[in-house]
Amino acid sequence: MAGYHSPQIDVAVRLNTNESPEPPPAGFAEAVAEGVLAIDWHRYPERAASELRARIGATYGLSEAQVFAANGSNEVLQTLLLTFAGPGRVSAVFEPTYALHSHLSRVTGTTVIQGERADDFSIDLAEVERVVTDHEPDVVFLCSPNNPTGVVDTPDTIRAVLEMVKGSGGLLCVDEAYGQFSDFSAVELLDEGTPLVVSRTYSKTWAMAAARLGYLLAPDWVVRELDKVVLPYHLDAMTQIAGTVALDYLDAMHDRVERLVEERGRLVERLADLPLEVWPSGANFVLIRPANHDGNTVWQGLVDRSVLVRNCSTWPRLDGCLRITIGTPEEDDRLLDALTEVLA
């Protein structure tokens, strides 16, 4: 099997991995550095990451026992699959969607069932019912806002899928890596009797991709099982400090999201003037398909002009598609100029 990799190319404008175009707010790095100076380097980090988990939980009205933290949401998802899936068990995804859901399933020896989304890339409940009824998956993945399409699942859709998964004895994972961009979160549906988990990350809206920190919100019985499987001392002391300090800047994070949404609107409006198919997005990226050009050729043309976007042409049902991360206004203007030249 092939690995999962995003190209890392030396370019002036990097819009391919959905990072925040802005750094954390003033004072954040200094506060983290102060915490790092107090680390006892000859000692292991606090194994349970209790302070971090308690602080994360408090922002959602949950307890420490309902939070699991790991090295990016990818380790969160991998641990979930190691715990509840694996050889002889099944996961379900609905394409096109986040490629790591299938990739990590296969890495853990899990059989992957791939359902199809509707023509507009929304969730087709009839298709979900077919997959759940025919295959009784142990873990079902939804991604909302969906990567790479940007589609946001409605609350009624998520509730309907959850009821199907409950009926089959499975576990529903709603991947909300871009959840702060959405008006609804599946966190509202969490309770101790519901087989639902919600994964989130610090990499996107928190502007902390370098920290590699993600977390999962779940019933405490799920978290207890994850703690049995995850490697000991997996979350280092610096990461725990950075994640805890970031929570002191909650308002700054929400302000950053508002600016990105405004810039997304401006970028989409400009893209609409070009010969492109542009999908509506509820995240910090936009999916496009050139109307009269090969997607690979357009991608290379942008790279030649020192602009890097994500080439999604090989992903299921996304032939010719490119995904553009929302950057700063200056970065987006350079993208638009380069894209206009390539399409001409």
What does the mean pLDDT of the chain come to?
97
pTM for the full model?
0.96
Q: Residue 232's pLDDT band (boundaries 50, 70, 90)? A: very high
In order of their start, the domains of the chain are: 13-23+251-343 (3.90.1150.10), 28-248 (3.40.640.10)
Taking only the tens place, the pLDDT of each residue in 184-195 is 999 999 999 999
State residue 339's pLDDT score: 98
pLDDT classification of 5: cutoffs 50, 70, 90: confident
Per the CB < 8 A criterion, the answer to whether 271 and 284 are in contact is no
The Cα 272–Cα 135 span in angstroms is 41
**β-strands 214-217, 67-70 pairing:** antiparallel
Residue 182: burial class (beta carbons within 10 Å; 0-12, 13-18, 19+): middle
* pLDDT above 90: residue 3: no
Per-residue pLDDT tens over the stretch 175-215: 999 999 999 999 999 999 999 999 999 999 999 999 999 99
Those residues whose C-beta lies under 8 Å from the C-beta of residue 53, and which sit 6 or more positions away, are 64, 67, 68, 69, 215
Q: What percent of the chain has pLDDT over 70?
A: 100
